[in-house]
Amino acid sequence: MDADSDVALDILITNVVCVFRTRCHLNLRKIALEGANVIYKRDVGKVLMKLRKPRITATIWSSGKVICTGATSEEEAKFGARRLARSLQKLGFQVIFTDFKVVNVLAVCNMPFEIRLPEFTKNNRPHASYEPELHPAVCYRIKSLRATLQIFSTGSITVTGPNVKAVASAVEQIYPFVFESRK
Amino acid sequence: MAARGRCPECGSGSLVEDAHYAQQQLVCAACGCVLSEGLLTTTYTDEEHLREVAYSQSTGQKEQLSRCLQRGIRRVQDLCKVLQLPAVFEETAVSYFQRALQLPAFRLVSLEKKELLGGCCVFVTCRQHNWPLTMGTVCSLLYAKQDLFASVYLSLQKELGLSVPALSLADLVTTHLNSFRLFQPTANVPAPFLEDREKLLARTMGLVELASETWLVTGRHPVPVVTAAAFLAWQSLQPGPRLSCPLARFCRLAGVDLPPPAHLRLKELLEILLGMASQLSWLRAFNLDKKTVVKHVGDLLQHRVFLLRNAFSQQDGEEQQDMALGQPSPGQHPVGPDSLDQNSLNKNSLDKDSPSQDSLNKDSPNKDSLDKDSSGQDPVGPGSLDKDSPGQGSLNKDSLNKDSPNKDSLDKDSSGQDPVGPGSLDKDSPGQGSLDKDSPNMDSLDKDSSGQGSPGQGSPSSPVAQGQGCPSAGKGKQQRGALRPLLPPCLLHPRKRLRAAAPSAPAAAPTGDEPISDSEIEQYLRGPEEIQAFRKAKGWL
């Protein structure tokens, strides 16, 4: 088997973070009072609201910015964000759903082999940094994709990136390198 | 300067211009005679506000260095002295520190971080010169928290674009052992506990190398590994009096800290050693356990390569790779165990797959019974359906009938149909079936598989089998333990359930633009009565 052969690696997206604006100020007290599944963090000035379907958690700020986390795809994130905006609308705010964007995607991927981390780090300086005293994984940054990969000796790779596409191409890029240092 | 003339006193030509604080002087370097002096100050009128000579010049102190920088440099120098580093290191560290402080990233940071920055510079320098210094040491010298140190260290590395080679484990072993107080007789170390430094060093090094070959070092903090290896080495050099000494006491005697993970590392090392010992022909007669195996560490290390190759299936990774590529969660090594089975079976000259081997099938009941376990569906022995490859199944049945109660069981091969990866491990280890009681050797095999394979998965469904497998487990391992793959321990004993392949895609994947009905939204909003009730409740609180 060689690195170029066609390999289907499952990339499991575990979290998608997105933000949007409502273009109006939000009365957090009102949301806390009339919304269900809410937590009002008065000291920080935000409200957490959870939706059941899709399962997301939204952080609502009084400025009208909302951060949604917990979705497992970009589409789901958008759907959840729209639902949340709709709920806010129902509460009586003049909500306009704007500036939606996915800001961060977290995914995991299992390589079908173990990886020799010291060797991998040596071959991939300066992108890779391995400090077993700090963290068991090698941290590998791909600047062009703005993606960061945590590569574990077991073959698990955790990827964070600005969107799903970047995450997928980050895994594609890293594969030949980890393949070289496989057990 | 020398061309300017000669000293009238001694005739030497080496005249030196020297600044005695603010005052220029021409001095003979040979005899020290002052030939001429500049004016200490100019005339009063020239000198407005009496500031002709800046204070910093008049004192000879370089005040243009900020106080922070001076302090930091002194810190770095002190640290180097404390660590007894060569002078070159000090210079490099100081220059790193100066460079770092000029960077905007370290301008507006807390004093604490600036102090740590000095430590980071020393640390980086040491690492670059392959000087074994751990973060723990630097942190304890600076009274710093490790996470803060780590953040400063990582940003320093990024900002200065430094490339820091990995910490050399061998060097670390040497320095770490040197800090042990077991080499000279002292009041609190009993005589049998004293050890020769070279001997201990050599053996520890061997153990650490063994550990790194067996995935016990990768991704782990190095110091606990070294501590555990040193402890084992120390015990093995004179097992008699030392076997009863626990790791904690050893560390106390040696005057080193006991890092908490050292116990885990010790356990893992012992497991590896036990696995190796099972392959050493002259140890096979003994029932080795974690205590007694220590006595044979010397032998084991000597034949390390051979034993490792025999005790663990090395190629497993490869095969697994081939097979598992398409599979979502290779973590469980669904394939590995299979290959193992093959090996162990061959050893026993049992060819599972070849029907011609009927006569041998005596042994084969094991497999069958195991399967049951792995599939996890039949808690009751006799009635159980064992799946084996269909052809085989029928063969086994026939041949088995005489010695094993298994007769009724239908064997189905689990590998083909069982979705549970680890379960397949059990296949080769016969002991689990409740049926197997009568066959002793099967039981012993079991152990292995039940212990290492998939702790979580096979067991719950077959409590009976487990109960039986366990007691015999200890012995079984050494007898002819099924080869287990050489893998990082976290894969062999997964603490958390591995993720399901991929949550089955929902029937309709959302596009993000579906219409949203009002009724869906209502579940997230409180009704008017609810709001009233909520207000009231709040009032009481």
Burial of B536 (0-12, 13-18, 19+ CB in 10 A): exposed
**In the block, which residue shows the tokens 């005679």?**
B33
pTM confidence score: 0.64
Which of B152, B215, B218, B320 to probe by mutation at the A interface, max A CB count within 10 Å?
B218
pLDDT, greater one: A112 or B341 = A112
> Phi first, then psi: what are they for B27, rounded to 5°?
-125, 145
Q: pLDDT band for position B395 (50/70/90)?
A: very low
The conformation of residue B421, written as its DSSP 8-state character, comes to T
Residues B169-187: tens digit of each pLDDT: 888 888 888 888 878 777 7
The domain ranges of chain A are: 15-102, 110-179
Closest A-chain CA to B332: A112
pLDDT of residue A72: 92
In the predicted structure, residue B1 carries a pLDDT above the cut 50? no
pLDDT of residue B337: 36
Quick check: do A15-102 and A110-179 share a fold?
yes
Q: How far is Cα B161 from Cα B82, in angstroms, rounded to an integer?
A: 27
CATH assignment, A15-102: 3.30.310.10
Structure tokens at B63: 């005040």
Across the interface, whether the CB atoms of B220 and A132 are under 8 A apart is answered: yes
Across the interface, whether the CB atoms of B317 and A121 are under 8 A apart is answered: no
Across the interface, whether the CB atoms of A73 and B525 are under 8 A apart is answered: no
E strand map for B31-131: 34-37
Q: How far is Cα B407 from Cα B398, in angstroms, rounded to an integer?
A: 7
The conformation of residue B289, written as its DSSP 8-state character, comes to -
State the average pLDDT over residues B198-217. Answer: 85
For A88-105, b/e burial (b = at least 16 CB within 10 A) is bbbbebebebeebebebb
Shortest alpha-carbon distance between residue A160 and chain B (Å): 18
Across the interface, whether the CB atoms of A126 and B161 are under 8 A apart is answered: yes
Reduced to 3 states (helix: H, G, I; strand: E, B; else coil), residue B507 is: coil
> Phi first, then psi: what are they for B113, rounded to 5°?
-65, -35
- Superfamily for domain range A110-179: TATA-Binding Protein (3.30.310.10)
Q: How far is Cα B487 from Cα B477, in angstroms, rounded to an integer?
A: 17
Structure tokens at B290: 């974690």
Across the interface, whether the CB atoms of B512 and A77 are under 8 A apart is answered: yes
pLDDT of residue A53: 82
State the average pLDDT over residues B117-121. Answer: 92
Q: How far is Cα A79 from Cα A87, in angstroms, rounded to an integer?
A: 12
Q: How far is Cα B198 from Cα B201, in angstroms, rounded to an integer?
A: 5
Q: Cβ neighbours of residue B220 under 8 Å, at least 6 residues apart?
A: A132, A136, B261, B265
Closest B-chain CA to A84: B521
